Amino acid sequence: MISVVIPAYNAAKTIGNCVRALTQQSIPRGEYEIIVVDDGSTDETAAIAEAAGAQVIRQSNQGPAAARNHGVEMARGDLILFTDADCEPAPDWIERMSAPFADPDVSGAKGTYRTRQRELTARFVQLEYEDKYDRLANQPRIDFVDTYSAAYRRAVFLENGGFDPVFSTASVEDQELSFRLSQKGYRLVFVPTAQVYHQHDRTLGEYIRRKFGIGYWKALLVRWHPEKVVRDSHTPQTLKAQLVLLGLLGLALVAWPVWPRLAGWGALVLAVAFVLTAAPFLLKVLRRDAGALLVAAPMLVARAAALGAGLATGYARFAFRPTTRKPVLSPFNRVAKRVMDIVGALVGLVLIAPVMAVLAVIVRLDSPGPVLFKQTRVGENGRPFRIVKLRSMVNGAESRLAEIVNVEQLESPAFKIKDDPRVTRVGRFLRRTSLDELPQFWNVLAGDMSLVGPRPEEACVVQKYNDWHRKRLSVKPGLTGPMQVNGRGDLPLDQRVRLELDYIEHYSLWRDVVILARTLPVWISGKGAY
Q: Residues 147-182: pLDDT tens digits?
A: 999 999 999 999 999 999 999 888 899 999 999 999
First to last CA, the chain: 46
Helices (H), 225-330: 237-255, 260-288, 293-318
Q: Which amino acid is at 461?
A: V
CB of 449 within 8 A of CB of 414?
no
Phi, psi of 199 (to 5 degrees): -90, 100
Phi, psi of 488 (to 5 degrees): 55, -130
* H or E stretch at 360: helix 331-366
Report the alpha-carbon distance of residue 478 to residue 454 in Å, rounded.
5
Measuring CA to CA, how many Å separate 107 from each of 182, 231, 234, 354, 467? Answer: 10, 21, 18, 46, 12
Q: Residues 309-340: pLDDT tens digits?
A: 999 999 999 888 777 788 999 999 999 999 99
**Sheet of strand 372-378, all strands in order from the earlier edge strand to the far edge:** 384-390, 372-378, 457-458
Measuring CA to CA, how many Å separate 325 from each of 64, 75, 157, 267, 413? Answer: 21, 28, 19, 39, 30
CB of 1 within 8 A of CB of 33?
yes
Spatial CA neighbour of 57 closest among 72, 36, 43? 36
Residue 513 has pLDDT above 80, yes or no: yes
Residue 383 has pLDDT above 90, yes or no: yes
Provide the pLDDT for residue 404.
Answer: 65
Q: Residues 356-381: pLDDT tens digits?
A: 999 999 998 888 889 999 999 999 99
Phi, psi of 131 (to 5 degrees): -60, -40
Which value, in Å, is the radius of gyration of the alpha carbons in the chain? Answer: 27
Helices (H), 447-508: 459-462, 493-505
CB of 218 within 8 A of CB of 167?
no
Residue 529 has pLDDT above 60, yes or no: no
Report the alpha-carbon distance of residue 367 to residue 17 in Å, rounded.
69
416 falls in which pLDDT band (50, 70, 90)?
low
Q: Residues 48-81: pLDDT tens digits?
A: 999 999 999 999 999 999 999 999 999 999 999 9
Residue 217 has pLDDT above 80, yes or no: yes
Provide the pLDDT for residue 185.
Answer: 94
* Percentage of residues in the chain having pLDDT higher than 70: 94
Report the alpha-carbon distance of residue 410 to residue 530 in Å, rounded.
18
Could you tell me which residues are beta bridge partners of residue 150? 82, 110
Measuring CA to CA, how many Å separate 373 from each of 137, 395, 407, 427, 431? Answer: 32, 9, 21, 12, 13
| pTM > 0.85: yes or no | yes
